[in-house]
Structure 1
Amino acid sequence: MKILVCIKQVPDMESRFKLNSEGTWYDEADLAFRMNEYDEYAVEQAVQLKEQLGGEPEITVLSMGPDRVVEALKKALAMGADRAVHVKDDKYYQKDPWQVASVIAGHAAGQGYDVVFTGMQSQDRGSAQVGVTVAELLGFGCATTLVGFAFDAGVITAKRELEGGSKGVVKLKLPAVVTCQLGLNTPRYPTLPNIMKAKKKEILVQAVSELLKEAEVTGTGGMYPPAKRGGGIVIEGEVNDQLDKLMGILKEKTTVLRAA
């Protein structure tokens, strides 16, 4: 069995964000980066599947981006992946979900992967489109937002989180793509011996142009912070006086809105 895990390196969500000089993306200069949280569940589930099958599957972890994404790849290798693929692309943020999925499918085509694990979505963009698009491009079955995973006799039993908090169960034959959600598992911390072993594991570097040929470069026209809202109004006094003041304010605002 061959397993592919797709990961993304994203800014730490506790960082203070500011726009870059072009106003088209965030400035990365002073940001701390980490592996996308949902992708950690994907790596962990792939490693658990390998352990279940006696270590027989080979796990490849793939990430697209600039040189810094190697750190995320090394963490995945230390968690238990066997090899890594770094699709080098300094303009990764100009790629829309279809193009990102095309890059992944371009690598996966002909490689004989049986299972592709991805996170449900990335924390910086949150489109939740890449995993399902990879499945479409490869012609694989797909289940999304997994909170439960089991494998037996070539069949995946996937428990999915549905709207309203309910759960649904589907079965998938291989090959398949699954996207992983919070609650699926508890990602392991890489141990020092495994961190040292990861340094010797292969990281294949590919240019994005090798996998995405003649692609139209997309981009963001502009990004703008939300407009600042005015301060709230504190109404003081007795309850009846407060109600009278509130009704007066609402009538005044209604009159302004109608006039506009």
Structure 2
Amino acid sequence: MPKLGHSISIAFILSMLLLGCSSTPKTEQDKYKEIADSFAHKSLKTLSKNTINPSLSLYNKVKSDDDPEINPAYVHALASISFALVGNSRWALAEENLAIDSADEPESKYVSYSVLSMALHNKGLMQLGDDYSLKAKLLEDDNLIDHKYNKNKVILSTILGLNAVKNGDGKSAELLFQSVAERRGVEWLPIVAHGTAMIVENPSVFVIKDITKLMTRDDVSLEARNKLAQLRAIANENLNLLGFYSPPLAA
């Protein structure tokens, strides 16, 4: 009998070792699915859905014919931004999932994809966030967004872009400010927004190297590179004022 128990113990240990060897690192999609399937995430979504959606449904029924109908996707996206601003990434992601669920036309999908990209970046799911940024850009590039929406989209992109900068999300900031830059004719704005977000995310001597690296990108024009150099100099001066030592800037 002792031998049987000993054999079982060895078999158990070996099976655990084999399981450990066969396990693979979780992908970002796996991590996202874990969050989406968690009890906390589902509870947050249920609470918000049962609070916001009935009120919107009632408003859309009793509103006058002259007033526009409100799509729940916009409200949940706005709520997601609000939660992101106060650093509550869990609530932000739950609200954004509701926005995606409610998005039923190109405009609301554009907003939802853009905001979800930021929510995913804030959770550290960088590649997945990039994927949703690309989805938003494809809607724009394919001209699926109504022309009447373009002006509002620029305003919205500015708001979302500023939020991305405030959260230190350089990739989202650069993408969101592209439409603003095209409309205003300021081509350096997206990359400078990216650099500004870098400063917000990491206000230390390391940000000087990050901005310098950004300046070496092949798609950065000479004018944009000069603007980044100015931004780098401002960051360097502020770091010196705060007592951080940073070496002299290279040309």
Q: Which category of TM-score, normalised to the shorter sequence, fits these structures?
A: under 0.3
The higher relative CO (CA closer than 8 Å, separation ≥ 6) is in 1
TM norm structure 2: 0.23
Give the structure with the higher percent strand: 1
